[in-house]
């Protein structure tokens, strides 16, 4: 009876084992570690199946495996039996399947996941997300480019899943998104505690051409180069260094963009408040040239106060030259204050006003009539320009070149570079003009010759040439010409050939032309004047004397 019962129980148990479902290959099953040997864990997965798993599959990247006999673990059943009759199982694949389930849920709920960077690949890094391997692009590591990712390796930290595809086994994560979110929260908190006009301390994080970024404790503010100092700052590195702690004032806060504008000079006294009192008009001060442009030079009177010397106020004589040829950067110069515009924070300065006007000096030292010598600097269609003392020029007009030649002819005798002498004829300080005369060097021969001669005077001339139209004569070295019609009162005696070269003739002056430098002379006019005078002296209207008698008496009297 007992034997029958035991047979029935055996059959029941056998039937039960046949009816039990064996695990499906490709699924995750639970097992128990029953032994550890030769770097492997032997796991009983039930159903009278055992398998082996390398211990390294239980370890996280960069860590040692922590397993002991008796631990229950989940493994992936790849095959129910291999050639040795053992189940083919994998802890790594089980972890991956588990991880994918967990990550898909986190991705759907837009939640952060924890992982560790464990390797570097082209374009970025590999991240272990607790069994699943994800790709971290280089641009998603930090908010700023990372040069050395060493300190981040193996460090457990949160990531944001950007994209995942289970079928292809692709996961893309971002560390930057976490940092930006955290930073945004921190920025909002810091900005909420700041007010415009508040003075705060910060650390210089970065320096650019246009300014510096200052960390105010989780939020950056821009300190523009123009707000660093009242004086001109060419580059922020002149007064700031990365890592330096500075005191700044909050100038403006944009609540929408979270941008903060900072200033340093606002915490200092504005030097422009005292400019009017310290630099009165026409006062002369010493300054330093800080910048040179095409239109002038900027001169620093004191830190924060600069004035412009316009190119027109730089030199009395150098009119069309670049300011860089008159002054140089960092040069110390004396300047005069010409104008102050406090509202526009502008000071107009003059360089030439600190030196005497060279035309004034020349006028004092070279009055009209003074003889000067200089080099022919330029020849134009209207005259010569002569270089004079004080780096100024004087002009000799065509009409002042020669007494005897036309200006157009006389100018042909001069070349650029010639040294010439001339007489100062006029100095116009206001118009900055000096008129010179070369022909006046020997004096005015015509004026000297006719100085005591008047119209109607009788003078004696020498015949120098006989021509068909008259005779050429000379008076005190000045040439003149008596026309045929003026040679005699009587037409019969109006013959040039009756005179000879060298004859001396008394003539009457009929005209003095200073422009043409000619005397109008006439024998005929002299004879008529003499006849008139004789009639007045020796004859009368009722005497009955003839003209011949009167002239005879006059001649006899003489």
Give the domain CATH number at 132.
2.40.50.140
d(CA 416, CA 378): 6
Angle at 154 between CA 151 and CA 158, to 5 degrees: 95
The answer to whether 161 touches 153, Cβ cutoff 8 Å, is no
Are 35 and 77 part of one and the same domain? yes
- Measured over the CA atoms of residue 214, residue 216, residue 218 and residue 223, the dihedral's sign is negative
Let me know if residue 187 belongs to a domain.
Answer: no
The pLDDT of residue 552:
56
Are 275 and 252 part of one and the same domain? no
Let me know if residue 486 belongs to a domain.
Answer: yes
Let me know if residue 10 belongs to a domain.
Answer: no
Residue at a domain's end among 267, 294, 319: 267
Are 72 and 122 part of one and the same domain? no
Are 459 and 530 part of one and the same domain? yes
The pLDDT of residue 28:
67
Residue at a domain's end among 216, 246, 267: 267
d(CA 286, CA 331): 10
Domain that holds residue 58: 23-109
d(CA 493, CA 489): 8
Let me know if residue 549 belongs to a domain.
Answer: no
The pLDDT of residue 486:
86
Let me know if residue 556 belongs to a domain.
Answer: no
Are 455 and 402 part of one and the same domain? no
Are 102 and 41 part of one and the same domain? yes
What are the φ and ψ backbone dihedral angles of 446, each rounded to 5 degrees?
-65, -45
Let me know if residue 558 belongs to a domain.
Answer: no
pTM over 0.85: no
Are 69 and 47 part of one and the same domain? yes
Are 503 and 456 part of one and the same domain? yes
d(CA 294, CA 325): 11
The pLDDT of residue 1:
46
The pLDDT of residue 2:
47
Residue at a domain's end among 232, 247, 267: 267
Q: Average pLDDT across each block of 10 residues of the chain; the chain has 558 residues. List them in order.
A: 60 55 64 75 72 70 69 69 66 71 85 89 88 87 81 88 86 88 75 83 90 85 88 86 90 81 86 85 92 92 89 86 91 92 87 89 87 90 89 88 81 90 89 88 66 79 89 82 88 87 88 75 87 74 50 52
Are 397 and 421 part of one and the same domain? yes
The pLDDT of residue 490:
87
Let me know if residue 284 belongs to a domain.
Answer: yes
Q: Which residue has the tokens 């849920």?
A: 105
The pLDDT of residue 25:
64
Angle at 30 between CA 25 and CA 31, to 5 degrees: 105
Are 260 and 279 part of one and the same domain? no
Token pair recorded at residue 153: 């390796």
Are 488 and 515 part of one and the same domain? yes
Q: 431 - beta bridge partners?
A: none
Are 510 and 456 part of one and the same domain? yes
Let me know if residue 104 belongs to a domain.
Answer: yes
What is the number of domains present in the chain? 6
């Amino acid at each position: 009876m007992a034997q029958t019962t035991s047979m029935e129980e055996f059959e029941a148990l056998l039937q039960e084992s046949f009816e039990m479902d064996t695990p499906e290959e490709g699924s995750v099953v639970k097992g128990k570690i029953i032994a550890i040997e030769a770097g492997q864990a032997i796991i009983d997965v039930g159903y009278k199946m055992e398998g082996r798993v390398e211990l390294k599959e239980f370890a996280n990247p960069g860590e040692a495996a922590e397993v002991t006999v008796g631990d229950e673990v989940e493994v992936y059943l790849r095959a129910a039996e291999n050639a040795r009759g053992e189940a083919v199982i994998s802890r790594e694949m089980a972890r991956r399947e588990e991880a994918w389930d967990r990550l898909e849920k986190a991705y759907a709920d837009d939640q952060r996941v924890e992982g560790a960077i464990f390797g570097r690949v082209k374009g970025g890094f590999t991240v272990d997300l607790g069994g699943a391997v994800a790709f971290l692009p280089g641009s998603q590591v930090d908010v700023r480019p990372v040069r050395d990712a060493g300190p981040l390796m193996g460090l457990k930290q949160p990531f944001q899943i950007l994209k995942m595809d289970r079928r292809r086994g692709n996961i893309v994560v971002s560390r930057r998104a976490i940092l930006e979110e955290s930073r945004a929260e921190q920025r909002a908190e810091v900005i909420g505690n700041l007010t415009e006009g508040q003075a705060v301390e910060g650390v210089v994080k970065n320096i650019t051409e246009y300014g510096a970024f200052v960390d105010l404790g989780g939020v950056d503010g821009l300190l523009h180069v123009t707000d660093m100092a009242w004086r001109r700052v060419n580059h922020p590195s002149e007064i700031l260094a990365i890592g330096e702690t500075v005191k700044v004032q909050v100038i403006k806060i944009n609540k929408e963009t979270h941008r903060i504008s900072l200033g340093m000079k606002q915490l200092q006294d504005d030097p422009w408040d005292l400019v009017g009192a310290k630099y009165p008009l026409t006062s002369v001060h010493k300054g330093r040239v800080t910048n040179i442009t095409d239109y002038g030079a900027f001169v620093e009177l004191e830190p924060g106060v600069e004035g412009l010397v316009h190119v027109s106020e730089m030199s009395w004589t150098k009119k069309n030259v670049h300011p860089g040829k008159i002054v140089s950067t960092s040069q110390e110069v004396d300047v005069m204050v010409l104008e102050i515009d406090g509202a526009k924070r502008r000071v107009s300065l003059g360089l030439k006003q600190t030196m005497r006007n060279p035309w004034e000096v020349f006028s004092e030292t070279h009055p009209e009539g003074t003889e000067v010598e200089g080099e022919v600097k330029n020849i134009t269609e209207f005259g010569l320009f002569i270089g004079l003392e004080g780096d100024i020029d004087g002009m000799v007009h065509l009409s002042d070149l020669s007494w005897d030649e036309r200006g157009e002819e006389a100018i042909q005798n001069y070349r650029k570079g010639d040294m010439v002498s001339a007489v100062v004829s006029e100095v116009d300080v206001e118009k900055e003009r000096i008129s010179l005369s070369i022909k006046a060097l020997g004096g005015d021969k015509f004026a000297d010759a006719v100085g005591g001669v008047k119209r109607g005077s009788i003078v004696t001339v020498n015949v120098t040439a006989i021509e068909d139209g008259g005779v050429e004569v000379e008076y005190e070295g000045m040439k003149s010409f008596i026309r045929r019609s003026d040679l005699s009162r009587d037409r019969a005696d109006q013959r040039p050939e009756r005179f000879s070269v060298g004859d001396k003739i008394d003539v009457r002056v009929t005209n003095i032309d200073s422009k043409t430098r000619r005397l109008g002379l006439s024998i005929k006019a002299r004879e008529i004047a003499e006849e008139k005078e004789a009639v007045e002296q020796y004859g009368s209207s009722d005497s009955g004397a003839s003209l011949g008698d009167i002239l005879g008496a006059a001649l006899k009297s003489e």
